[in-house]
Amino acid sequence: MGQKKIGIMVSGRGSNMQAIIEASRDPNYPARVELVISNREEAPALEKAWKENIEGVFIPGIGREWERKVLDLINEHGIELLCLAGFMRVLSPEFLAQAPPVMNIHPSLLPAFPGLNAQKQAIEHGVKISGCTVHFVDSGVDSGPIILQKGVEVNQDDDEEELAERILRIEHQLYPRAVELWARDQLEIEGRKVRIKEEKGHG
């Protein structure tokens, strides 16, 4: 089976992008990163993509014009799934209507602590368990149908960095897994719910 082409949208470090790239080195992994798009020229993720010989593009600008350029580029490359990975912009409903499916990873157990500084929000709230969520993107902030979640314990002396680091380790497992499920056609959206189907050929 061929690998489906995915695009990754970034604004920063790119460790989740890197985790997906590493997963896709396995010839049995059903997707490969074809294109990386950044809205920030200085995003370290771009350099990481270039090192992997993946086309990494900084697209300047804002608003509909910016989104139009992104859509043109992803169409040119035949991108079938867009993964937001540390991408710090909200995409418009018009963009989402025209784009392929879009996924995001968020460092909390949604619907708790959407938006910025999720790990800090979790610590300040005093929760005992937090984690990460991969979800499909809708026009809200971190509000779309949930694909996968995994929890981690919050230790009472954790600071934001320690918790972020513990969550990041599981993000790097969860995001490639969610992409894999999508690429194997195992995800079915029913309203707010994402059902995970058995892999074809396994009953």
Residues that bind ligand GRF (CB under 6 A): 12-16, 85-86, 105-107, 168, 171
The SS3 of residue 150 is: strand
The phi, psi pair for 40, rounded to 5°, reads -125, 125
What is the arrangement of strands in the sheet containing 187-190, beginning at the earlier edge strand?
A: 55-58, 31-38, 4-10, 81-84, 102-106, 129-136, 146-153, 193-196, 187-190
Of 77, 106, 125, 172, catalytic? 106
Q: Is 162 within 8 Å of 203 (Cβ atoms)?
A: no
Give me the least distance between CB of 83 and ligand GRF, in Å please. 10
Cβ proximity to ligand GRF: between 105 and 147 the closer is 105
Closest CA to 1 of 23, 20, 18, 26: 26
Least distance (Å) between residue 200 CB and ligand GRF: 30
Which CB, 7 or 107, lies closer to ligand GRF? 107
Is 106 known to be catalytic? Answer: yes
Residue 86 CB, shortest distance to ligand GRF, in Å, is: 3
Which residue number has the CB closest to ligand GRF?
Answer: 86
Residue (34 or 171) nearer to ligand GRF, CB: 171
CB 113 within 8 A of CB 160: no
Task: Name the residues annotated as catalytic.
Answer: 106
